[in-house]
Structure 1
Amino acid sequence: MVHLSSSRDGLQWRETVLTPAPLALDKAMAVFGDALTAQLARGLALEGAPLVAPAPATPATASPSAADTLLLNRIAPDAWRLLPPLRRGRTVWRLGERRLAQAVPRLVELIETGDAMLDYCIAWAIGRCGDAGAFEAMVELSRRATDPKVTRIARWAALALWPAERRAAEAERIVDDWPGSLRRAWTEAQVMPVADGAALLRERLADPAHWQSLAHTDWTQQLFELALLEGLDEDQPAGLAHLALHDVAQQLSPAAGSFRAWRRLYKGAEFAGDYRLLGLLNQRIETQRAGFRGTSQWAMLNGRYVDIAKEIVRPDSRLALSQRTHDYLRRRTWRTLRRLALRGAADERDWLRLAMGVLLAADDADAAVAARHEDAGWNRETRVWHSGPYSRWLVVM
């Protein structure tokens, strides 16, 4: 087992369990070495070693807000035991939304102590908090989990925390599964300027013959994994994987045949905080009509009625995006934007990024014509209202 203790003042110590299960000595030493390097890079030193030019303390980051403190207190052992399962999952999810890295050691302890949904929330939160000490825990969870959604989110969390010196090797392993033409294009693009490399990939992706042997869901999943390894720095130009992913998102329709890929990518954009990608995916849902009414048992397909419940679970389902799901997804983007705005200065940057992502994805070709509407009906006074080009877009109303 690998256990790390760290402290800023020598009085309050932070305990991090780096391995959820025992490892061989050589592997454990490698994990400890990576964690120690990360801690030294943050300005910490080994106990008893002389400190060199310590950085001045920053009180602003030392004390969490009252709301954050409340969340952290809920995962303390005594308080945690009193929470019902639903509240536990919500609490962990909020910790991930707030990116409270202080919670990571406790979250690692809670892995596999509840149901699959709790493990999903824990992996989601740990991946967003960015504590590299939990990398091995996420790798182990992705291997041991029996629920596919937990395996996937733990894999995403591990990729987000992947050691920098090993990212290139993991990216190469992912690309090795691609068809030869795409693999060669990716290799060529690595030595080009990013814009030229993205143009080359765009050319290959325009021809389905280059990637048809890959399922749409698998292709977008692997491209998203490369984007996680690439990292996201909003202050720097987007990397090759991000540009390629944005190109795919602009063409990815939330309709039958590609809805599962769209939905998975939407969840991934939320996890990674890629608000440019989230804006592009929101544009696709705002301009896509619902495929069927969710309140009925039957839907008409090719002149015949089919049972919705049976058709929707098929791998090759011809149905996707009920009216309820369509409305929910439109509201979800709007609620995310509202939640970030209501948190004030702490999340102002993320709020602006999402707002810009939504607005930049808006295309005047999809806009309606501004109009004046009248409806007399059975009323004494005629109702008059105006609609703008984007009045149907819930997120910009």
Structure 2
Amino acid sequence: MKTEIYEEKAVLVGVITQLQSEEKAKEYLNELAFLAETAGASPEKLYFQRLDYPNPKTYVGPGKLIEIKAFVDENEIGVVIFDDELSPKQLRNIEAELKVLILDRTSLILDIFAKRAQTASAKTQVELAQLQYTLPRLTRLWTHLERQQGGIGMRGPGETQIETDRRIILTKISLLKQNLKDIDKQMSTQRKNRGKMVRVALVGYTNVGKSTLMNLISKSEIFAENKLFATLDTTVRKVIIDNLPFLLSDTVGFIRKLPHHLVQSFKSTLDEVREADLLLHVVDVSHPNFEEQLEVVNQTLKEIDPLEKPMILIFNKIDAFTYTPKDEDDLAPIKRENLSLEELKKTWMGKMHDNCIFISAREKQNIDSLKALMYEKIKAIHVERYPYNDFLFQDYTEIEPENE
């Protein structure tokens, strides 16, 4: 199945429904455009349609599909990307009409993950998610083989090939799941071998600056880029703050409408979150809808581990933050430069969590305060767990990064 969209011109399609306002639909499609750019495509136009619910046959209405086809044909568009996961039926009908590569949000995210995967673990997890997504959509791959008239002995080659491919994929899925079990055992052994050190995990929406913060705290060189899912493989580093050692892990970013297959497949990555003693929830406070991103992460964390863990809420990118009080005209925003850290703490954001701090990882603003807060929380966890040992004064060997 063709999924390569590098340097393809793309059209993006979304719907405005009773459950999704125009403002939300536009925000989601802007995020979809960022996803498309991350995958290497060039978004040329965004299409919206107001519907009670997505058309079960073609996602959008027939008239809108004709309008999209005209633009696709006139502008040599190579791929059309839909903001929601398409059913196999929708996928077949849309492809038959537009005759170009059709992707939905799930397949686009899977494509990005496939490009980002570096280790055997990540590659195995992505391949499993891709096959689980592909399995119910096999018929679209064989539309060039006409199915013959029914009856005993009259089944067409298309159906025969689909059944063969289904068995192959099911066998491959079973093999990959077994491989992941073996990988999970290895990862679990690695986690056990870390000994008694407190574990801290960076979590947050994709592209909020977790890797930049990881580099700053651990003084390492983790890949960081202004693209979605720049970090895919979990990275673990040993960090020491004022003679207190702990393990810090950088995890894959979350996103709205995260494909269920990925949540299932990336168990070993998410285990870092499950087994963490302290979570650092990083939020891009400069994003216009950071509140929703924060809630997406909180909901995903509940799905991963319903037990509440100690957490520090870190509002990052305050250097890019603009603030407009609710009683002010939106046309006259008060710039972040006019707000001190003390003033930020007094805003409603500063009251969202007991342990809340404002920083700029890129500009290294207020990092010492963050480290002090981390030291306080990590020391409390350690003292509670090991009240009588001299763990803090032992000599430690370097922890090797797990993604190498």
Do they fold alike, i.e. is TM over 0.5? no
Q: TM-score under structure 1 normalisation? A: 0.28
User: Which one has a larger percent helix, Structure 1 or Structure 2?
Assistant: 1
Q: TM-score under structure 2 normalisation? A: 0.28
Higher relative contact order (CA 8 A, sep 6+): 2
User: Which one has a larger percent strand, Structure 1 or Structure 2?
Assistant: 2
